[in-house]
Every structure is written in C-alpha cells, then in structure tokens.
C-alpha cells in the first residue's frame, strides 16, 4: 500500500476518479435508522412507510392474475418512455378528484414521483441555480436539488403553508443579487414533514407571483387524497397549466413497492421528460404499471383509499392524544391528512444529537435537520404516525417524553 496519497474516507481507491457531483451525495438522516427500527422492541415514528397491511392481498392477487391472463406478454415486455396509455387514462380520473382536467398526452409515468423529480432536476438545474422551498421541506427532494448542485432557499412557512409575502420578498432579493431561480418546490397538501396544508387563498397568490416572475412551480402531491375531514383545496395545476408541473404517486394510495408515480407537465416540458425518461430507463416498469392498471380497473380503489383514511385518522388522533398527554408543553402541527406531525422541542435540545439516546429508550423519530438544506431544524423532529398501531404510537411518544424531559433537565442544570 502506498503512503504517498491520501486515501480518503472509506479507503476508496477511486477517490480521484469521481465526478464532482458525486460529492453532493450524502447519507440520509433516516437511513441509519432503518437497521434499528427493524427490531420489534423499537417503536418507529421515523419512516413514512404506508401501512400496506391494510391493502387486502386478494385484491392484488386478483389484479395480478387477470393481468397475466389478459395482458401477460405485454406486461413482461419493454414499454414506451411515456408510460402505458391505459394507466395514463386512469391517472386522469385520479387527478380529476383533485380538480385537475388534463390530457392523457401530457402525463409521463415515472419510477415513483422521486424519479420524476430527478428527471426535472436534470432537465432544469444548473449548478448554482436556486430552488425555493418550504421550511421544512421534503428530504428526498432536497437530496435531488443538492445532487444537481442547486441552492435551496427555504421560505417562511406557517400553519397556513408557505407565506406568499416571504416568497415575493425572497424572489426580489435573489433577483437583485443576479441569482437564477428555477423552481418553487411545494408539498401543498399535508406536507412532508410539516403536515401543513397550503390555504386556497395562498395557492392563488403563489401561482400569480410565480406566473409573473416566470418561475416553475413543482406541485408534489402524494398525500392529497388522504384527508381526514374536508378535502384540501384543489390543486394549483387545476387553474394554472403553464407554470405548474404536477407530481403524483401511487406510493401512498396503493403501495410504494410498486414504484409508480407520474408527472403532468406542459407539452414542451412533457416532450423533454419523455426523452429523459427513455434515456434514463428506456421505460418505466411495464409490469407494475399493468398491475396498477388492472387494480384500478377491477377493484374499488376509492373504497380502499377510504379505508386508508380511516386508519391514518385514528393514528393521527392517537399521536395528537399522546402528545397532549405526555408532552403538552411542546408545539406540534395538527395535520388534517397525510402521515406526519412536526414537533418543536424546547430551546437548546438538538434533535439529531438526542436520537441515539431515544433509540436506547426504544423509540425512533426523524431529526428536523433532515428537512433543511441549510442546517436548520435542530430544534424540531418529525413524527410519522402512518405505520405503528395507535397503542404503539402512544407507547413511542411516552418513551420520547422520557428522553425529552431528561434533556430538559440537563439544560436546566446548565442554565440554558
């Protein structure tokens, strides 16, 4: 072994060979947790895993059987880069539930909406471009923006969603600095990680601002159909076709293992997305597209979404009830749908540093720092209520309270 050259972290012999953008890849705050949450003793309030056990197996088996008997050869073959036309037609019906009326020609199927985001990043982002985002914002999107070396500017966000005044102010300032703003990225319904929903009034103002300033809105909406009471406001794409790119997914309303999402984009962008999709994948999985298409065709999929809503509503109630019981002094969002609570800790507690201690107390969560590109979120954590049972949610939050109270006592000792 030579001692002439630094070997770099991981003793990597190819350290000098990587493209510069490989340095933008970093380990997710959540990933190290995946191993520990597999222990049954640990209550995981960390990952946003849909409760797929509530999806009757016979529904998927029936879809599989009919797909294989009726379209088996097609399902096992390569497909087109835009995705299966029948499924795209069915996606139109799903989007209509959120107020969107679109042409089947403008839909592109992707390998999860995550791949849709990646394709858009590759098409639009040059190093140094600015992406505007909520505070906090979805960790998976932040990873993509970082990979394309974009700068993420987090904007003030409150219980009504992203603040349009902050958006205007930020655009003004960034443009004065000569920065190039490419996207406003939003999860407007039951956001990940905040659980907050953008109000209708703010949606209209945001669309108006972005149209005027020539900024594309990425409207990422995986949770919109998982509302617990009233429906959220209609999608921004329903009243603005040219400056909104809409992303949807089957991961939360069906199953994430199928890895099927979709993008609805203006025709010129759609063309480039199809080319990019073909370049990256040749085609998204025909097999899982066909399976979903059969499921949508032959089962009561809206009834199944109702079932999911009931389950998640009960779990949301369990989480809020436990927060009230064990940690009543902490601020938390009160989501009307989706998977998450966003909790604000007492000042001085670092959620990332506290995590190993929480794991030893048999509870896991996601530190708030995962959801900021600028190091923010230390004083926050995300609780996912989608997967554990209500009883385990209560137990997990009780354990979390023990850890937080211990930290609070420590801070008091040191006068913080």
Partner 1 sequence: MIPGLKKGQQLRILILAGGISHERDISLKSGRRVADALTDAGATVTFHEPDEHLFEYISKEKPDLIWPTLHGASGEDGSLRDILALTGVPFVGATADGARLAWDKSIAKILVQRAGIQTPASLTLPRETFRELNADSVLAQVAKHMTFPLVVKPARSGSAQGVTIVEDPAHLNRAMIDAYVYCDVAIIEKFVTGTELAISVINEGAGTIALPAVEIESTTGRFGYDERVVAGDTNYYVPARLEQGILEKAAKIAIKAHEELGLRHLSRVDLIVDASGVAWFLEANVAPGLTETSLLPQAIVATGATLAQVYLGIAEAAKAGRG
Kindly list the residues in this chain that would bind partner 1 in the complex (CB under 8 A). Answer: 1, 3, 6-11, 23, 26-27, 32, 34-36, 39, 41-42, 348, 350, 353-357, 359-360, 362, 407, 410-411, 413-416
Query: Closer CB to partner 1, residue 277 or residue 351?
Result: 351
Query: Closer CB to partner 1, residue 8 or residue 257?
Result: 8
In the complex, least distance from residue 238 CB atom to partner 1, rounded to whole angstroms: 42
Taking CA 274 as the corner, what is the angle to CA 272 and CA 278, rounded to the nearest 5 degrees?
115
Residue 241: DSSP 8-state: S
In the complex, least distance from residue 369 CB atom to partner 1, rounded to whole angstroms: 11
Report d(CA 235, CA 370) in Å as an integer: 26
Report d(CA 321, CA 315) in Å as an integer: 10
Query: Closer CB to partner 1, residue 25 or residue 54?
Result: 25
Query: Closer CB to partner 1, residue 38 or residue 73?
Result: 38
Query: Closer CB to partner 1, residue 42 or residue 215?
Result: 42
In the complex, least distance from residue 399 CB atom to partner 1, rounded to whole angstroms: 12
Which of 246-260 are b and which e, b meaning 16 or more Cβ less than 10 Å from the residue's Cβ? bbbbbbbbbbbebbb
Which of 399-408 are b and which e, b meaning 16 or more Cβ less than 10 Å from the residue's Cβ? bbbebbeebb
Contact by Cβ (8 Å): 142, 368: no
Query: Quick one: tokens of 259?
Result: 């890895």
Query: Closer CB to partner 1, residue 6 or residue 303?
Result: 6
Report d(CA 268, CA 104) in Å as an integer: 14
Q: Is 339 exposed, middle or buried (0-12, 13-18, 19+ CB in 10 A)?
A: buried
In the complex, least distance from residue 220 CB atom to partner 1, rounded to whole angstroms: 27
Report d(CA 194, CA 383) in Å as an integer: 9
In the complex, least distance from residue 12 CB atom to partner 1, rounded to whole angstroms: 8
In the complex, least distance from residue 9 CB atom to partner 1, rounded to whole angstroms: 4
């Amino acid at each position: 072994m030579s001692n002439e050259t630094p070997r770099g972290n991981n003793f990597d012999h190819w350290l000098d060979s990587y493209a510069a953008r490989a340095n933008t890849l970093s380990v997710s705050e959540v990933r190290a947790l995946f191993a520990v949450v597999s222990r049954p003793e640990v209550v995981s309030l960390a990952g946003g895993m849909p409760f797929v056990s509530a999806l009757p197996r016979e529904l998927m088996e029936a879809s599989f059987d009919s797909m294989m008997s009726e379209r088996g050869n097609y399902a096992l073959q390569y497909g087109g880069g835009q995705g299966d036309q029948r499924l795209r037609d069915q996606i139109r019906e799903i989007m209509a539930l959120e107020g969107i009326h679109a042409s089947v020609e403008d839909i592109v199927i992707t390998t999860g909406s995550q791949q849709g985001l990646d394709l858009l990043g590759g098409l639009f982002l040059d190093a140094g471009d600015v992406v505007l985002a909520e505070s906090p914002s979805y960790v998976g999107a932040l990873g993509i923006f970082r990979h394309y070396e974009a700068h993420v500017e987090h904007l003030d966000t409150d219980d009504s969603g992203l603040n349009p005044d902050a958006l205007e102010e930020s655009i003004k300032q960034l443009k004065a600095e000569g920065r190039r703003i490419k996207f406003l990225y939003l999860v407007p319904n039951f956001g990940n990680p905040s659980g907050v929903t953008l109000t209708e009034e703010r949606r209209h103002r945001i669309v108006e601002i972005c149209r005027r300033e020539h900024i594309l809105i990425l409207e990422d909406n995986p949770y919109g159909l998982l509302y617990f009471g009233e429906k959220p406001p209609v999608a921004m794409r329903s009243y603005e076709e040219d400056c909104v790119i809409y992303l949807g997914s089957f991961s939360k309303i069906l199953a994430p293992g199928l890895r099927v999402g979709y993008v609805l984009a203006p025709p010129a962008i759609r063309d480039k997305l199809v080319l990019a999709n073909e370049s990256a994948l040749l085609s998204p999985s025909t097999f899982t597209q066909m399976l979903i298409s059969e499921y949508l065709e032959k089962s009561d999929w809206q009834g199944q979404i109702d079932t999911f809503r009931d389950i998640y509503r009960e779990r949301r109630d369990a989480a809020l009830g436990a927060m009230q019981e064990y940690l009543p002094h902490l601020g938390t969002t009160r989501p009307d749908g989706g998977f998450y609570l966003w909790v604000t800790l007492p000042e001085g507690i670092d959620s990332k540093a506290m995590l190993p201690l929480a794991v030893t107390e048999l509870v896991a969560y996601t530190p708030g720092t995962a959801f900021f590109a600028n190091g923010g979120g230390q004083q926050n954590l995300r609780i996912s209520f989608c997967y554990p049972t209500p009883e385990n949610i209560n137990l997990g939050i009780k354990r979390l309270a023990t850890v937080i109270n211990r930290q609070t006592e420590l801070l008091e000792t040191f006068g913080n």
